[in-house]
Amino acid sequence: MDTQSIVTSKSGVQRIGKPVSEALPKVKDPNVNLRDRLNDVLSTEKHNLISYQTAINEMINDDLRNLIMSNRNNIQDTHTRLFNELFNIGEYQADVANSAQIRDSAEVFNNYKVQLPFPH
C-alpha cells in the first residue's frame, strides 16, 4: 500500500490514497460491481475475525486453540490483502493531517494515558 500517494478533490481537499480506478463505475446502479463484491467480502472477513477472536478467547483445548489461531491469521492476511486492493483502486482514502491536528491528537492521547491500568 502506497500511503505516500496524494489525491486532490475537485474542491482542493488533499487525501492520502489513489484516484478511483476506471474499473469502478462512476454512478452506482442496481448491478453488483467489483467495488460491491470486494466490500462484501471485506465485511464478511471482519465479522469472521471477530468470531474467531471470541472463540480463541474462550477455547479450552490448546491444540484446537492453535488451529483456530492459525485460521484466524489466514483470515487476517486475506482481510489485509482485500483492504489493500480496495485502497489501490481508490475506494479508500484518508484525510491528510496537518501538524496542528497531529499535535491535538497526541495531546488527547497523552491526557488519556493517566487512565490506563499500567505504568506510563
For residue range 57-77, list pLDDT tens digits in order. Answer: 999 999 999 999 999 999 999
Q: What is the mean pLDDT of the chain?
A: 87
Helix (H) or strand (E) holding 1: none
Name the amino acid, one letter, at 35: R
What is the pLDDT, as a whole number, of residue 70? 97
Give the single-character DSSP code of 9: -
Range of the domain at 77: 6-20+32-97
Task: Give the number of domains in the chain.
Answer: 1
Comparing 28 with 56, the larger pLDDT belongs to 56
- The answer to whether residue 79 is domain-embedded is yes
Q: What is the spatial distance between Cα 27 and Cα 112, in angstroms, rounded to a whole number?
A: 43
Q: At residue 120, does pLDDT exceed 70?
A: no
Arithmetic mean of pLDDT, 12-25: 80
Ramachandran bin of 17, using left for φ above 0, alpha for ψ from -120 to 50, beta for the remaining angles:
left
In a domain, 25, yes or no: no
Mean pLDDT of 67-91: 92
Q: Which residues contact 4 (CB under 8 A, 6 or more apart)?
A: 16
Q: What is d(CA 29, CA 56) in angstroms, rounded to the nearest whole number? A: 40
Q: Which residues contact 23 (CB under 8 A, 6 or more apart)?
A: 34, 89
Whether 55 maps to a domain, the answer reads: yes
Residues 6 or more apart whose CB falls under 8 angstroms from that of 76 comprise 49
- The pTM assigned to this predicted structure is 0.69
